[in-house]
Amino acid sequence: MGLALKDSLYHCYGDYLSWPDDVRYELIDGYAYAMSPAPDLAHQDVAGELYRQVANFLKGKSCRVFIAPVDVRLPKHHEDDAKIDTVVQPDVLVVCDSSKLDRRGVRGAPDWVVEVLSPSTAGHDQIKKRQVYERHGVREYWLVHPTDKVLTVYRLIDGEFAKPDIYELQGETRVGILPDIAIQWDELSARLPNDY
């Protein structure tokens, strides 16, 4: 996602729904951020592989995994959908509370969010979106750095993200809040280009 604003006006989900489908935006605290053009192949490979592995683990379980684009509406209180001013589209997300799911996507914090970084989104995902996910109670937030083949993991403790754990994309990494899920990295990491 680029940092170019649609404009400097305050927007809510009601406005967002009226915008044309050919350009995607995320809303953070009422400000519209234009999404980057289609992600490159390495980004899609990482997101798709994570989705595939997680979907296999969750088969027959109550938690559900989704892949972008899915609107995640993050209300500040109990406002109507039209008044929500934060709507994001994580690359991969898991929701374990089915009451948060509706035909428009997700209303409320997912349990686990994964963002795959690219040069145009890295700062935004590491700073702005991390703050949003922390504030809204995402229990675990992963940032996958395909270029460096590194994973940064934030876990929510007492309402705040603890100091992150950093891993290489090798072997396996267990999801802290869903310990039955272990992401296997070696085959995926070998596919990532060295000049990502």
List the domains of the chain with CATH numbers: 39-191 (3.90.1570.10)
Q: Measure the CA dihedral 69/90/123/4, to 10°.
A: 30
Q: How confident is the model at residue 2 (pLDDT cuts 50, 70, 90)?
A: very low
Q: ∠ CA 22-25-27 to the nearest 5 degrees?
A: 155
For a pLDDT cut of 70, what percent of the chain falls above it? Answer: 95
Distance of CA 60 to the CA centre of its chain: 23
Contact 109, 136 (CB under 8 A): yes
Contact 71, 95 (CB under 8 A): no
Residue 126 pLDDT? 85
Residue 173 has pLDDT above 80, yes or no: yes
- Give residue for tokens 């000049």: 195
Bond into 37 cis (ω within 30) = no
Is 176 exposed, middle or buried (CB count within 10 Å of its CB: 0-12, 13-18, 19+)?
A: middle
Average pLDDT over residues 80-87: 97
The pLDDT tens digits for 65-80 are 999 999 999 999 999 9
Residue 1 has pLDDT above 50, yes or no: no
Neighbour-count burial for 56-73, b at 16+ CB within 10 Å, e otherwise: ebbeeeebbbbbbebbbb
Residue 196 pLDDT? 45
Q: How confident is the model at residue 120 (pLDDT cuts 50, 70, 90)?
A: low
Higher pLDDT, 126 or 3: 126
